[in-house]
Amino acid sequence: MIPSRPKGAKATQWSILGAGDTMSFKDYIIDRLLYIIFYYISTALVILIMGLDLIIRGEQPNLGNILYALLISTVILGLSIGFDYYKKRRVYQVLKNKPDDDSFDYIFNIPDNINREHEAFKRILTDNYMYFENTLDEYRRKFKTQVDYKSRWVHQMKTPISVIKLILENEKDRELDQITRKSYESIEEELEKLSHGLEMELYSLKINDFEMDFKVEEVDVLEIARSVINENKNAFIVNSIYPKIKSQSKQLVKSDGKWLKFIVSQIVSNAIKYTRVKDVENRYLHVYLHREADRTILSIEDNGVGIPRKDVDRVFRPFFTGENGRRYKESTGMGLYLTKEICDRLGHGIGIQSEEGKGTRVNITFYEGRSIYDLRKD
């Protein structure tokens, strides 16, 4: 994934000593305070030498002339500083009005022929910007090539998996001994894992171009849940897990049906994974749907091994497997990360309630009155 600036972060601006967005005249004076001090020291030395010369010749220095010389010197200093700031003000104005996005095109708007120092800065910034753009384009090309290759490979792997599944279905229809049938069921279970892994890889590639494959529509949440349960019916049967949808009322929410199905599929897959390893008789997975004031909440609950308290707040991090992942060796740490990432992009909320040894409940919140299109612009 091409790295980008974190969401909500603002680009660094040239703010020097002051509270404004760029250098003010007050900051400009403070920045040159040492030069001003040395200027007055040199002026004072000249006046002192001239005064000593008058005293040596037996003449009395005139205080009015000294003050007049200091006044003239101050006026000349003020005019020179003011003129220099006026010339450079155009540069500070460009920096002040730079956009807050990731664009660096404002560099080319820095005016020329200000002074040699600013010319050198602009040349360095321009060279670095062009090097950055060329390097970024190179990485983008490599990244796109890699994504295209992986997507093609995933699609190619799906075909032989489908063929193997079809062969197994045909073989299971024949009269088989118990050992052979058990072997076929084990192969079918492993194929389901492989198919699930390929699907997760494909969606992890698609999420980089989320806006290109995104469609808002009214979706029946319970219908999606039923579809996911039916697709995993073999895993439920083999592992003696009893799924049940406890809400029957049809409820439409605004979302993307394909991405939402992937979210539910990941949650159901995790529920199966961590429920089948628990040694209990009544393993279950329950689906609830209820409305609140301005939201609809889909809950998927299991009575699996649960998540240790110390891991609950970290399960959405990429590649985090936690104590359960180390114990059962089947976690990649990417399923819940992708689920959270997609929920954020769709504008849905997601949360986990879990108690170790008792089970886990995942809540997906669909907010009403929130425009997904507006969220995608952020």
Strand 349-355 relative to strand 241-245, pairing: unpaired
Which residues, other chains included, contact 154 with Cβ-Cβ below 8 Å and sequence gap of 6+? 198, 201, 202, 205
**According to the model, what pLDDT value does residue 13 have?**
38
* Residues 310, 316, 319, 325, CA torsion sign: positive
Q: What CATH number belongs to 214-377?
A: 3.30.565.10
Beta-strand ranges (E) seen in the chain are 217-220, 241-245, 252-255, 283-291, 295-302, 349-355, 359-367
**According to the model, what pLDDT value does residue 370 have?**
62
Q: In terms of C-beta density within 10 A (0-12 exposed, 13-18 middle, 19 or more buried), how is residue 340 classed? A: buried
What residue ranges do the domains of the chain occupy? 25-114, 214-377
Q: Which DSSP letter does residue 20 get?
A: S
**According to the model, what pLDDT value does residue 369 have?**
67
**According to the model, what pLDDT value does residue 241 have?**
92
CA distance 36 to 70: 13
Q: Phi and psi (nearest 5°) for 286?
A: -115, 140
Consecutive 10-residue averages of pLDDT for the chain (378 residues)? 41 36 72 86 87 83 84 88 81 70 70 75 83 89 85 85 84 78 81 83 81 82 92 86 86 89 92 87 91 89 92 89 78 86 91 92 86 49
Q: In this structure, what token pair is assigned to residue 303? A: 């009575």
Cβ-contact 293, 254 below 8 angstroms:
no
**According to the model, what pLDDT value does residue 103 have?**
67
Q: Phi and psi (nearest 5°) for 5?
A: -65, 135
The full length of the chain comes to 378
Q: What is the pTM of this model?
A: 0.64
**According to the model, what pLDDT value does residue 99 have?**
64
